[in-house]
């Protein structure tokens, strides 16, 4: 993960802290590690963001930001990683999580006929919440750990490639 690329595309930390919605976190954002770009903070942000993306709750970005503060990961990366779930990707992701949850809990899969209404959502949620939540936590943990490891590995490979190039040019 090239640090220069991330610095170019992420907002300036000082300007980020001055945003109206961000000021809600107040002094919690004073930890410089939350906006610092290094292998540990970026990998932590990726892992946390991917984990939270699979949790079937509203306000995932807020949850990812809170998790990043708690675990001292890069808050911008964590919030950005949540965006893999969007209106197009949520149905297949949650269907996968539901199926995994059904298998883990040993339940029978229920046929669900979708209706875009709150009444339908409330009725179906009482039947599917346990397998969906179980599968979401399991799949989110696996994807989050994989994302954490991949970010660590990619960052390390990038640094090793830069060192190799520097040595070939005759530098230190």
Residue 11 confidence (pLDDT) above 70: no
Torsion angles phi and psi, residue 56, rounded to 5: -80, 65
Whether 145 shows a pLDDT value over 80: the answer reads yes
Q: Check residue 11 and report its DSSP letter.
A: P
Does the pLDDT value for residue 17 go beyond 80? no
**pLDDT value of residue 100:** 96
Instruction: Give the whole-angstrom CA distance, residue 139 versus residue 50.
Output: 10
Average pLDDT for 125-148: 94
Instruction: Give, rounded to a whole angstrom, the gap between the first and last alpha carbons of the chain.
Output: 22
Segments in 10-117 forming alpha helices (H): 13-17, 39-53, 60-71, 75-81, 90-105
Q: Which helix (H) or strand (E) holds 158?
A: helix 118-168
pLDDT at 46 over 90: yes
Supply the pLDDT for residue 82.
96
Mean pLDDT of 3-32: 65
DSSP codes of every residue in 95-150? HHHHHHHHHHHTPPPPP----SSHHHHHHHHHHHHHHHHHHHHHHHHHHHHHHHHH
How does residue 130 score in pLDDT terms, banded at 50, 70 and 90?
very high
Burial class (CB in 10 A: 0-12, 13-18, 19+), 68: buried
Decide: 84 and 48 in contact? Cβ < 8 Å. no
Q: Where are the domains of the chain?
A: 3-168
């Amino acid at each position: 993960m090239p640090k220069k690329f991330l610095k170019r595309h992420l907002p300036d930390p000082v300007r980020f802290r001055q945003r109206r919605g961000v000021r809600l976190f107040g002094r919690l954002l004073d930890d410089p590690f939350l906006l610092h770009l290094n292998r540990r903070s970026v990998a932590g942000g990726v892992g946390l963001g991917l984990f939270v993306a699979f949790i079937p709750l509203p306000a995932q970005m807020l949850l990812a930001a809170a998790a990043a503060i708690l675990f001292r990961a890069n808050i911008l990366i964590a919030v950005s990683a949540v965006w893999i779930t969007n209106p197009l990707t949520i149905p297949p992701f949650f269907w996968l999580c539901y199926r995994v949850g059904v298998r883990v809990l040993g339940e029978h899969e229920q046929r669900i006929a979708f209706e875009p209404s709150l009444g339908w959502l409330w009725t179906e949620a009482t039947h599917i919440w346990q397998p969906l939540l179980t599968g979401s936590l399991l799949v989110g943990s696996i994807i989050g750990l994989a994302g954490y490891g991949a970010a660590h590995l990619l960052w390390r490979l990038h640094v090793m490639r830069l060192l190799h190039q520097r040595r070939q040019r005759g530098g230190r």
